[in-house]
Amino acid sequence: MWLGHSAVKIIAPNDKVLLIDPFLTHNPKTPENEKIQPKVDYIFLTHGHEDHVGDTLEIAKATGAKVVAMVELSGLLKSDGLPEDQAVEMNKGGSIEFDGFTVTMTHANHSTSFGGRYAGEPAGFVIGFKKDITVYHAGDTCIMPDFKLIRKLYKPDLAFLPIGGHYTMGVKEAVLASGMLKAKKTVPIHYGTWPILSGSPEEFADKATDKHTEVVVATPGEWMF
């Protein structure tokens, strides 16, 4: 389920609830009934910017969710009150086996900081559910050749790609990116939250849909699958 901007909620086959970049309460596109998440098992943060970390600390405190993030960002979250036993740090290229799924942190070409402090590097995530689908969330990034490597290594079934422009890839770059990734389905994100993120999902769908991928233009708060 897309929750607007870069936020994604996944319910795993074993009923674990995963949130990626839970920027919810201040997200103008998150439906009211999704702003508070009462049951969360894992939070994945692509980088430290406020529009991605969002409500992480509050959700983690309320639910006991584990927070998976870049080493330096993880350190900052701990210094801001994230309990030690809920922080899971990792770095690019590494994979961690969780209950029912495997997560790999991938490269993203962007910047990052958290509360004005150095937050390591931005990243993306590949999340592979056993005998089920593999999901790729690109985080905030520009176009990069790594999309080909991600295709080769992980063959994502479902890819979330930023298309808004200005701070990330726009439509033109995201079309090329989706062509490299060849995910069965591609969901555009990081557009429309504010007027400056002007990339059009319809234009993206027109240009990116081909024999390799079907673009799914999601409605925040509605299950896509």
Residues that bind Ni ion (CB under 5 A): 49, 140
CB of 182 to Ni ion, least distance (A): 25
Q: Read off φ and ψ for residue 76, nearest 5 degrees.
A: -65, -40
Q: How far apart are CA 150 and CA 87, in angstroms?
A: 26
**Residue placing its CB nearer to Mn ion in the complex, 175 or 197:** 197
CB of 110 to Ni ion, least distance (A): 6
66 binds, among Ni ion, Mn ion, none (CB under 5 to 8 A by kind): none
107 binds, among Mn ion, Ni ion, none (CB under 5 to 8 A by kind): none
**Residue placing its CB nearer to Ni ion in the complex, 26 or 39:** 26
CB of 108 to Ni ion, least distance (A): 9
**Residue placing its CB nearer to Ni ion in the complex, 9 or 47:** 47
Q: Which residues bind Mn ion (CB under 5 A)?
A: 51, 140
Dihedral sign, CA of 174, 175, 176, 182? Answer: positive
Q: If you write DSSP's letter for every residue of 163-199 in order, what string do you get?
A: ---SSS--HHHHHHHHHHH--SEEEEES-SSSTT---
Which tokens in the block code for residue 52?
């991605």
**Residue placing its CB nearer to Mn ion in the complex, 51 or 72:** 51
Give which of 165, 160, 114 is closest to 142, Cα–Cα. 165
CB of 140 to Mn ion, least distance (A): 4
